[in-house]
Structure 1
C-alpha cells in the first residue's frame, strides 16, 4: 500500500514551521538575508534573525562575511540543483501571482527529484477557505499533479529506473503499481494536463500543466490547488487554459534568461 495522505498536524507549532521553511529556503536556493527570510515567512525581521541564529547554532546554517545566510553542514544539496531551483523560482513568482489574480486559488511550482516532488514556490489566494502554502514540502511524485506530469515526461526505461524494486527493499509499500501508473501517465501525455483529487491530501483538488525548457523537456509543474468543495468540473478547461498561458510565458522568460 502507498503511504497515507499527508494531513496537517492537529496542533501546528508556528515557530518550528518557520524554522523548517527557512532551512528549506537556504538549502534549495543557496542563501538569503535576514530581510529576505522575514519577507518570505511573513514575520518580523527580529523573528527571522532569531530563527536564523538558532539554525546557525545547530549547524543548519552558516553566515558569510557579507551577512548572507547559507545552508550549513547539516544540509546538503548539489550546487547545480541550487542554481536551477533558484532560477526557476525567481522566474516563476510573477507568473504564479498572475494566476492567483486570475483564478483566486493557491498556485504552486513543483520540481521532481527521483520519486519525490518538491514544492519550490507557492502563492496563496485571498479566499478565507484556501489551500495554504506548500513551499518546501515534499510528496511522493505519483501522488501529486505536477509529479505525475513530470513522470509522464520519462521514457519507459527511465521510469523503471526511478521505481526499480531494489530502491524499495526497505519500504516496499511505497512503490506504486507500475502497470497502473504507466496507463495513467499515457493518458496525461495525451491530455497535456493533470487533475489530482485528494491523492496527496484529503479535501484538496489540484490541476496542473508542465513547464518545459527549450528542447521540450519538462522542468517543473505549474498547478493550482483548491478545497475540493470549491472544485467545479466546468471550470477545468478555463483553469487549464490559464495555466498553459502562464507556463508558456514562464518558458519564454526562462529562454531569455530572465
Structure 2
C-alpha cells in the first residue's frame, strides 16, 4: 500500500485560510461549536472568530441554529462532481448570464443538480444597491431552490421516487412521507407546464428566485439558471416582459453550447 508523505507546514502559511480550515475540522469532529469555542481553539478574538464563521455560513460550509451553535453545512458534505464538463458549461454560458443580469438588474446564478442538492457553479452579481449576493459554491436542497426544482421537474416519477422515497433517501434524511411526496410530484408537474420554477423564501428569508432550465442543443436539461432577488421584487420578475428576457437568455445559452463537447445526446448525465 502506498503511504502518504508526512505533511509539513507550508513555509509561508496563510493564517486566515488555516483558521477557516481548522474550524471545518472542528465541526467535522465535534459536531457543534460556539464562537467562544472557536476563538479559544484558534487563539483569536471572538470578533475574528465571528467573521470567520460568517464567511463559512455564507458559503454553505456551516449553519447556525437558534441557540447560536454552529454545525457543518451542506457544502462540507458535498462530494466532488468529478468531471470537467461543468467548466465547459460555465465558460459557454457565462457571457449570456452577464448580459441577462445587466438587462434585468438582478443577480443571476448557474446551477447544476447532484442528487438531491442544487450546486451553484457561478454567480453574476447585480450592481443594484439592494441585491442578492454571490452564491458561488453554495449547496441548497434541490426541491427548495428554484434552479433545483426546475431540474427535478424533468425527471421521471421513478427517479423522484428513488431520490425521495428510496432506502438511500431514508439514510440521508431526505425521505418524504406520502403527503409531502404527492405535493412534490404536483409541484413538478406545474413547473413543467409553465417552464420555470419559483422559490419564495424557501431557502433564505427575504430572498426569492425564478429558475429556468439550460437545455443542450439536443433539448435535454443539463443545468439551470436562477434570477435571484429580494422577495419584495419577485412579482415584478414574473411580468411577461421579464420572463421573455429570461426565456430568450435560455435560448441563447442553448446556442452557445452548439459545437462544444456538450453538443451531443447523453452527455453529462445527472444523478
What band does the TM-score fall into relative to the shorter chain?
0.5 to 0.7
Choose the corresponding residue for 1:208, options 211, 215, 220: 211
In structure 2, C-alpha distance between the alignment counterparts of 1:226 and 1:124, rounded to whole Å: 10
Choose the corresponding residue for 2:246, options 234, 239, 243: 243
Extract unaligned runs of 5+ from structure 1: 1-8, 24-74
**Partner residue in 1 for 2:125:** 124
CA shift for structure 1 position 165: 3.3
SS in 2 for 1:205: strand
Distance 1:163 1:257, change over 3 A: same
- The answer to whether the 8 A contact 2:196-2:213 is kept is yes
* 2:231 is the counterpart of 1:192: no
SS in 1 for 2:242: helix
Distance 1:16 1:234, change over 3 A: closer
Query: TM-score of the superposition, structure 2-length normalised?
Result: 0.65
**Partner residue in 2 for 1:228:** 231
Q: Deviations over 1:99-140 (max 9, x none)?
A: 111011000110001111000010100111110011110011
- The answer to whether the 8 A contact 1:104-1:126 is kept is yes
In structure 2, C-alpha distance between the alignment counterparts of 1:232 and 1:158, rounded to whole Å: 31
Distance 1:168 1:93, change over 3 A: same
CA shift for structure 1 position 242: 1.1
Distance 1:78 1:188, change over 3 A: closer
CA shift for structure 1 position 178: 1.3
**Partner residue in 2 for 1:140:** 141
In structure 1, C-alpha distance between the alignment counterparts of 2:212 and 2:135, rounded to whole Å: 17
In structure 2, C-alpha distance between the alignment counterparts of 1:169 and 1:223, rounded to whole Å: 29
Query: TM-score of the superposition, structure 1-length normalised?
Result: 0.68
Matched pairs, number: 195
Q: Deviations over 1:178-213 (max 9, x none)?
A: 110000000011001111100111101101211111
SS in 1 for 2:128: coil
- The answer to whether the 8 A contact 1:108-1:122 is kept is yes
CA shift for structure 1 position 168: 3.0
Q: What pairs up with 1:35-74 in 2 under 5 angstroms?
A: none
CA shift for structure 1 position 169: 2.9
Distance 1:203 1:16, change over 3 A: closer
**Partner residue in 1 for 2:157:** 156
Extract unaligned runs of 5+ from structure 2: 1-34, 36-46, 62-77, 262-271
SS in 1 for 2:132: coil
**Partner residue in 1 for 2:168:** 167
CA shift for structure 1 position 214: 2.6
**Partner residue in 1 for 2:260:** 257
In structure 1, C-alpha distance between the alignment counterparts of 2:221 and 2:203, rounded to whole Å: 21
* 2:221 is the counterpart of 1:182: no
In structure 2, C-alpha distance between the alignment counterparts of 1:202 and 1:163, rounded to whole Å: 25
CA shift for structure 1 position 230: 2.5
- The answer to whether the 8 A contact 1:204-1:226 is kept is yes
**Partner residue in 1 for 2:90:** 89
Computing the radius of gyration over CA atoms, which structure comes out larger, 1 or 2?
2
- The answer to whether the 8 A contact 1:207-1:239 is kept is no
